[in-house]
Every structure is written in structure tokens, then in C-alpha cells.
Amino acid sequence: MRFATLPNGTPDGRLNLVSRDNGRAVPVQAVETLQQALERWTDVEATLQAEYAALNAGPVPGEIAFDPKSAAAPLPRAWQWLDGSAYDSHGALMAKVFGKDAKGDSDRPLMYQGVSDRFLAPYEDVRLPSAEDGIDFEGEFGIITDAVPMGTTPAEAARHIRLVVQINDWSLRRIAPIEMRTGFGWLQCKPHCSMAPVAVTPDELGDAWRDCQVALPLEVDWNGNRFGAAHGHDMSIGFDGLIAHAAYSRDLVAGTVIGSGTVSNENYREVGSSCVAERRGIEMLDEGAPRTPFLSFGDRVRMEARMPDGAPVFGAIDQIVRGARS
């Protein structure tokens, strides 16, 4: 199934089913919002599947042409947003640049808890306080869970993955090291993330859902120029493992969003990068100093993953960076 949320004047919007070609949408009858669907998934799944099948079979009452530019984030706000760092090539590169051990002496997955009271719409301008803060994009994949009990194992966690999403985890790179040194973690350096317009159940990905990972390249364009197309199936730990890590000491409520971290491959010089920091790190290793700047106000970032035949999946995140007061 494919879901999108259209604004209706409420914080959580109105949940719609989207046809398999991402061309048509119809309001869901069983529930009003995606959060409600996630909380009642076992009760409403069969009804949702029937509504989805009817939409794909032909015209249905109330359907509209789906316009991703008018969509909100599929889950406009969440109880919890946890972002991992599951692509070792990215972590190893950044650690090498700064002379640090990527994970220290621990095999624990890296994860931080970010702001979840709002996810930006996929075509919404991104408003930030200053271009001097080192504005960066981070292309990621993510999943949304139903309720996950504390102590869930990776094998059990896979069954709690209800939806797969595409995310841009905006970052302010020049603030990040300052906050890291405090020992209290990130706050100012992690503004609201963006989410592509369509959330899909894992079965929509077919063979592109493997090992609880998205086996598709994430194409990232910056000001109309291809910046990277790293492949998603290169995580050192799948989303099942990330869920189990997060649930070690807590229950995860339905609607918890977990990110993969910046999509990255070992051959990053060939496939490109999903964030500016990685490109700058490569330049530091190769040339002794970075030459790619961070983003400026007015810059445009577009990212999208498509199926091998070019068919759309999540739709695109396509945003312009603006000053907070502009």
C-alpha cells in the first residue's frame, strides 16, 4: 500500500491512499490520519488493503489526481524520531578525516534522538537561521513502526516495520561539533527533517526490500547537478537491528520513525555522496582541504529513489533553502 497525507487545517492532515503509479489518491475511509492507522494497524489493515485494491483497479468515488507538491509529510508529526548511522563507509570516512575511531571500542549502533514534532513537507521551503552555520542535506531512508515492546529482538522487529519512507535529515555542520563537546548531544544543529510525499508498505518495494534495507539508489541533485546516487543496500545493520537497539530499554510507540543515516557506499568517489560533509571529507583526504562549500540561501536540493524500471516509489523531496526571516 501507498499512503500520503494532504493538508486539511489540522496538525495531522487527512490520510489518503495513493495508486501504485503515484498518480491518483483517495481519502482513507477506515481512519482519518496515518497515526491512527499505525495505532490500529492489525484492526484496519484488511480494510486498507481492500480500499487500495479498489483504487488500483479503476476509478473510485472521491479520488483526485495526486499532486505531490500539495502533500504534507506522510506522517506530519511523530511521537519519536530516532536516526541511526548504519552506513559504515560514511562513518569510517568522517572518522578518518578527523582522526577518530568511528565507533570507539563498541559495536553498538550509532543513534541519536531528533526533533519529531514536525516533519517538513516534501516541497516546502526549508527556513534556517544563518548560512554561516554550515547548512547540509543528508539523504536517508527510514521506516515507521507500529507499537514495539521493550526487548524486541531483530527477528521480531522486522514484523513491526509497517512503512518505508525517504528522508532528508537537514544538518547545521558548524554547530554539531560544539554541541558534541558538551556531552549532551545535538539540539540546534538538527532542525526539522523533510519526508518524501509517499510512505509505502515494504511489499511495494518487491525485490528492492532486502535484509530490512532499501535496495535502491538515492539520487541527489544540488542546484540541478547530480551530487550522488549511493545505493541503499549497504547498511551494516538493517532496520530490524536498529529497531531492536532502540527498544532495548523502552517500548517504542506506534508511529516511531527510525532513519538509516546518510546513505553511503565504499566507492563514494564513483557514486557520489548523499551529503556535503562526505564530499568535503573526500576532498580533505585527496587534496588536503575541502573546496565544496556548504549550502547558501536560495540553493535547491532534490532527492528521489526510483524502482529499477524508473517507476516512482516515495516521490521526490525538492526544496529550496531560505533564511528564517526572509
User: Please, what are the domains in the chain?
Assistant: 2-66 (no CATH), 75-323 (3.90.850.10)
Q: How far apart are CA 229 and CA 61, in angstroms?
A: 39
SS3 96: helix
- Measured in residues, the chain has a length of 326
The beta strand positions in 197-323, using DSSP E, are: 199-200, 209-210, 213-214, 217-222, 225-231, 257-259, 300-305, 317-323
CB 305 within 8 A of CB 214: yes
Q: How far apart are CA 241 and CA 247, in angstroms?
A: 10
Answer with the residue of higher pLDDT: 314 or 100: 314
pLDDT band (50, 70, 90) for residue 13: very high
Q: How far apart are CA 176 and CA 325, in angstroms?
A: 22
Strand-pair partners of 195: 167
What's the grid cell of residue 82?
530516532
The pLDDT of residue 12 is above 70: yes
The mean of the pLDDT values for the chain is 96
pLDDT band (50, 70, 90) for residue 180: confident
Per-residue pLDDT tens for 210-229?
999 999 999 999 999 999 99
The pLDDT of residue 98 is above 70: no
Q: How far apart are the first and last CA of the chain?
A: 39
- How much of the chain exceeds pLDDT 70, in percent? 97
Say if strands 317-323 and 300-305 run parallel, antiparallel, or are unpaired.
Answer: antiparallel
The pLDDT of residue 230 is above 60: yes
Q: What is the model's pLDDT at position 103? A: 58
Non-local CB neighbours of 285 within 8 Å, separated by 6+ positions? 93, 96, 97
SS3 187: coil
Overall average pLDDT of the 49-74 stretch = 98
Q: How far apart are CA 164 and CA 19, in angstroms?
A: 16
Count of Cβ atoms closer than 10 Å to residue 115 Cβ: 15
Residue 244, exposed/middle/buried by CB under 10 A (0-12, 13-18, 19+)? buried
CB 102 within 8 A of CB 92: yes
Q: How far apart are CA 93 and CA 272, in angstroms?
A: 13
Check: pTM over 0.85? Answer yes or no: yes
Answer with the residue of higher pLDDT: 104 or 311: 311
The kind and range of the H/E element at 3 are: strand 2-6
What's the grid cell of residue 107?
559495536
Q: Where is average pLDDT lowest: 87-101, 141-155, 309-323?
A: 87-101
Non-local CB neighbours of 2 within 8 Å, separated by 6+ positions? 17, 18, 19, 20, 22, 52, 198, 199, 200, 201, 204
Per-residue pLDDT tens for 308-318?
999 999 999 99
Question: Shortest CA distance to 196 belongs to which of 298, 305, 115, 87?
Answer: 305
CB 87 within 8 A of CB 262: yes
pLDDT band (50, 70, 90) for residue 102: low
Q: What is the model's pLDDT at position 69? A: 98
CB 300 within 8 A of CB 223: yes
Q: What is the model's pLDDT at position 104? A: 57
Answer with the residue of higher pLDDT: 16 or 177: 16
Q: How far apart are CA 39 and CA 44, in angstroms?
A: 10
